[in-house]
Structure 1
Amino acid sequence: MTDCEKEEYSNLKMEFEWILHQEVHSVLTQLHTILLECVQRFPVTRLSNDNNPNKMEKFVLSSPPDVKCVVTLAGDSITSAEINVKVQRQQMVLYRTTILSENPWKLQQIQDAVNHLQQAIRFVESIDKDYTFKTFLCRSSDEVLHLLGNILSCLQRGRTSLIVPRKKTIDDLLKSRNMKTLTPPLPEDLAISFYVQSHKLVFALYQLSVDHGVMKFDPHQAECSVPWLNEVLVLFTVALQQCQQLKDKICIFSQYKDLTISSRPASPVKC
């Protein structure tokens, strides 16, 4: 090994020691703060230490002249709603139905996002600030990458659950437990759905019909923006970026399988 190679090897070793003993823990601390802030954005009682009811917010979803829907959103549930929809029969017909507080409409996407977020927090908290990663680079890199991979996976699933709603068939909608919460029930050829898409709460109405033996449906949609959902998505994105940047940096050093790392933190290399 030439003197130049030895110097490069020494610099790499010092830089990775600093990243491993200092930067990893610093980023994990920042991540923990961001994730706790994110989870507090969800207005759900069971995430906090108080016994106050879920914060209730009223939203109007309207798409004239066919749909008007006024909902009360509390955490991961629509606790009440007044729904007015117009559909074409022989003539235009208005249907009214409600969601009552004793039978709320559950928004599983929000609960899924919370579950994934809390799992990410548990992974971050699993590493104590005084924890020393293994002494060989190949092992320490694998250990850090495994941890970051778990955190990234949780954050990606949580963010995706809010951005990409699960597709359901019309038959699934008609038979869903949520449809049974409507008072009075809608005709059998009408199905409705509430779901989250990015920072929006969406109401969808589907009118079923049969044309030459083929089942068709005519969709109507109304939506509104939910401010705290936007804040949650921003924090998810910031956390993902920080975690991915650290993972990319560790991946560079993981190429050097024979580099050994001391148990003492080193000073960062100055360029």
Structure 2
Amino acid sequence: MATAMAATAAERTVLEEEFRWLLHAEVHAVLRQLQDILKEASLRFTLPGSGTEGPAKQENFILGSCSTDQVKGVLTLQGDALSQAIQDARNHVSQAIYLLANRDENYQFKTGAEVLKLMDAVMLQLTRARNRLTTPATLTLPEIAASGLTRMFAPSLPSDLLVNVYINLNKLCLTVYQLHALQPNSTKNFRPAGGSVLHSPGAMFEWGAQRLEVSHVHKVECVVPWLNDALVYFTVSLQLCQQLKDKISVFSSYWSYRPF
């Protein structure tokens, strides 16, 4: 019995030493790695022309449809026309970097729970950043009309066209809705369409004094390489956070009570 107790005590001592090393050394190594990765991700969201380096940089995107060759085009973006989704994602990345940098090399984590709390906070920001790119906003047709996207095209688009431009995963998507006005004496049952990422032909809405219906929908898209890079950085960072959480949890399984 004495030998068994001694072995258990010795094993416990080793585990406690390993756990202290994890808190004092490995945690900071992971935090440094996360900061390096997220700083690279943040650079991907630097808006063209957002600094003082001169005129806004133009980006050209060759758009095409995966289902048909009938619709193709080249979209030139200048300045921050699509800045909202990018800025939101970057803000979440910046908040994650702030949380990580708030614990410098001299900071000593005292408990595993403290590390878990930090990882949860960082993962929340990274998940929000990723979701901002992977989950396009659902908009009603009047909201799309009010967004001003159609008016930003040069030359101007015909008045019977409505355009939405958005980010989905690593793709820039452009949807063109061709409209026709419903006559006051129309026998169609007018039902305004609700919010959607992509509206279908037959969707109706009211804009100003007119009732309109979508007659045709055309969607084109293209892959944006730097968006793909950002999504990879988010995935790798989330995996690192989860791996560190798992290591903390493994140590807790050796005790009947929470050692942290």
TM-score bracket, normalised by the shorter chain, equals: 0.7 to 0.9
Instruction: Look up the match of 1:152.
Output: 123
Q: How far did residue 236 of structure 1 move?
A: 1.4
- Alpha-carbon distance between aligned partners in 2 of 1:245 and 1:28, rounded to the nearest angstrom: 12
Confirm or deny: 8 A CA contact 2:48 2:58 kept in the other structure. no
Deviation (angstroms), 1:169: 1.6
1:36 is displaced (CA, Å) by 1.1
Unpaired segments ≥5 residues, structure 2:
191-201, 204-213
> Which protein, 1 or 2, shows the higher relative CO under an 8 Å CA cutoff with sep ≥ 6?
1
Bigger fraction of residues in strand: 1
Question: CA offset at residue 208 of structure 1?
Answer: 4.4
- Which among 23, 27, 32 is matched to residue 29 of structure 1? 32
Structure 1 distance, partners of 2:57, 2:243, is: 35
CA contact (8 A) 1:43 1:54 kept: no
1:16 maps to amino acid: F
What runs of 5+ residues in structure 1 fail to find an aligned partner?
73-77, 80-100, 135-139, 261-271
Q: Note if contact 2:133-2:167 (Cα within 8 Å) is conserved in structure 1.
A: yes
Partner of 1:246: 244
Could you tell me which residue of structure 1 aligns to residue 47 of structure 2? 44
Q: Which residue of 2 aligns with 1:17?
A: 20
| Distance change (3 Å), C-alpha of 1:40 and 1:111 | same
Aligned to 1:56: 58
Deviation at 1:117, TM superposition (A): 0.7
SS of the equivalent of 1:192 reads: strand
Q: Which moved more, 1:17-26 or 1:107-116?
A: 107-116
- For 2:230 and 2:53, how far apart are their aligned partners in 1? 22
Matched ranges for 1:81-230 at <5 A: 105-134=81-110, 140-182=111-153, 184=156, 186-187=158-159, 190-208=161-179, 212-214=188-190, 216=203, 217=214, 218-230=216-228
- SS at the partner of 1:131? coil
Any idea what the Cα deviations from partners look like across 1:47-92, whole Å, max 9, x if unmatched?
87x73555432112134665443222xxxxx32xxxxxxxxxxxxx
- Separation (CA, whole Å) in 2 of partners of 1:158 and 1:47: 20
TM-fit CA distance, 1:242: 0.8
Q: TM-score, normalised by structure 1?
A: 0.73
Q: Deviations over 1:147-206 (max 9, x none)?
A: 11111111111111111211112221122243443453542x532111111111110112
Q: Percent identity?
A: 39
Give the direction of change, closer, same or farther, for the CA distance of 1:258–1:155 in structure 2 (3 Å limit).
closer
RMSD: 2.7
Whichever residue aligns with residue 18 of structure 2, its letter is E
Q: Report how far residue 12 of structure 1 moved.
A: 2.0
**Residues 53 and 149 of structure 1: CA distance in aligned 2, closer, same or farther (over 3 Å):** farther
- How far residue 25 of structure 1 moved from its aligned partner, in angstroms, is 0.3
